[in-house]
Amino acid sequence: MNKIVIENLSLQYSDGTESLRNVSMEIPANAITVLFGPAGGGKSTLLRCLNRLNDLADVEVVDGKVIIDGENILDPKTDVIALRRKVGMVFARPVVLPMSIRANLTYGLELAGEKRRSKLDEAVERSLKLAAIWDEVKDRLDDPAIALSGGQQQRLCLARALALQPEIILLDEPTSGLDPLSTGKVEAALQELKKDYTIILVPHSVQQAGRTADYAAFFLQGELVEYGEGSVIFTAPKDKRTEDYITGRFG
């Protein structure tokens, strides 16, 4: 089942340079789809298109549609706030808020107007378990979140996105600042999460792309070069450029 359908999407920066060129792809639910390629290829821009975070940067949509659950979210009439609750996002650098672990998790829900204590507590436990960090922090939920290690902070940010019960999770190089052990924990959590969520990941290395991808899309200078099942792309790519990149001949 296709959760997200991108049709002929072209984006450009306000100074006229092209960011994405005529990209079309279908992203299935309950799988990890990886967007990879050298820097400046438009991966992050595409990711930020899916929760309309680009609205606030100097990127404009030239043409095309992004359809989530049958609705074109690029339509100006879309409720962007509701969209962002449905499409959660985790950034490269964990942005923990300067408050307690618990408050970090309930923040998004409180913004959405949830006040009932029982609901909030339930969301805290559920999302921390999903992000595979519950055992590490359950005894110190009221400690400041900044005291956590980098890897824990990143999983806390994942949990914070999950607390809003999104349907889609976008991850922009979520492990670029983490050690291999923490990276492994985050990747393991993602493998669990894909049973219930649609996950789109921009990895920080080809290796991570290969490890995690159910589906993979290779971007080069704004162009979608190749898209298909991860097992195929990383073993027998059809396009010469994809092969060159995967085998480390450039990038």
Partner 1 sequence: MEKSLNWREFVITRAIKASGYSAIVFVLLIFVFLMREGLPALGEVEAGNLLSIRWYPIEEMFGILPLITGSIIVTIGAALIAVPFGIGTAVFISEIAPRWVREILKPLVELLGGLPSVVLGFLGILVLSPFLRVFLDLPTGLTAFTGSLLLGGIAVPTVVSVAEDALDAVPRAYREGAWALGATRWQTIWRVTLPAARSGVLTAVMLGIGRAIGETMTVMMVTGNAPVLALKLGSLFSPVRTMTATIAAEMGEVANGSTHYHVLFFIGIVLFLISLGVNIAASSVVFRAKKRAERILS
Neighbours of 178 (CB within 10 A): 21
Q: How far is the CB of 84 from partner 1 (least distance, A)?
A: 4
* Binding segment toward partner 1, per CB under 8 A, in 60-68, 84-92, 131-139, 181-189: 84-92
Of 111, 179, 207, 239, the one binding partner 1 by CB under 8 A: 111
User: For residues 150 and 251, which CB has a smaller minimum distance to partner 1 in the complex?
Assistant: 150
Candidates 4, 49, 101, 164: give the one binding partner 1 (CB under 8 A): 164
Residue 33 CB, shortest distance to partner 1, in Å, is 18
Helix (H, G, I), strand (E, B) or coil at 35: strand
- Say if strands 198-202 and 32-36 run parallel, antiparallel, or are unpaired: parallel
Six-digit token string for 149 = 């290690």
**How far is the C-alpha of 202 from the C-alpha of 175, rounded, in Å?**
10
Closest CB to partner 1 among residues 107, 134: 107
| Ordered alpha helix ranges (H), the chain | 43-50, 80-86, 101-111, 117-130, 134-137, 150-163, 180-193, 206-212, 230-233, 240-246
174 counts as binding partner 1 under rule CB under 8 A: no
User: Considering the complex, what minimum distance in angstroms separates the CB of residue 94 from partner 1?
Assistant: 9
Q: Which two tokens stand for residue 224?
A: 């979608």
Amino acid type, 224: L
Minimal distance, residue 155 CB to partner 1, in Å? 15
Q: Is 136 helix (H, G, I), strand (E, B) or coil?
A: helix
Q: Nearer to partner 1 by C-beta: 147 or 188? A: 147
Q: Compute CA 239 distance to the chain's CA centroid, rounded to the nearest angstrom.
A: 26
Spatial separation of the C-alpha atoms in residues 97 and 106, rounded to whole Å: 11
Q: Tell me if 91 contacts partner 1 by CB under 8 A.
A: yes
Residue 118, CB-side half-sphere exposure with 13 Å CA sphere: 0
144 binds partner 1 (CB under 8 A): yes
Counting contacts by CB under 8 A, is residue 53 touching partner 1? yes
Contact 217, 211 (CB under 8 A): no
Q: Which of the stretches 123-131, 158-166, 218-226, 239-247 binds partner 1 when contact is defined by CB under 8 A? A: 158-166
Residues 110, 95: Cα–Cα separation, whole Å: 18
Given 37, 42, 64, 88, the residue binding partner 1 (CB under 8 A): 88
Which helix H or strand E contains 8, and what residues bound it?
Answer: strand 2-13
Q: Which helix (H) or strand (E) holds 218?
A: strand 215-220
Q: Of the candidates 30, 65, 107, 243, which one interacts with partner 1 according to CB under 8 A?
A: 107
Q: Which of 11, 27, 74, 89 binds partner 1 (CB under 8 A)?
A: 89
Q: Smaller CB distance to partner 1: residue 108 or 230?
A: 108
Which residue ranges make up the site for partner 1 (CB under 8 A)?
51, 53, 56, 58, 81-82, 84-85, 88-89, 91, 93, 95, 97-98, 107-108, 111-112, 144, 146-147, 157, 160-161, 164
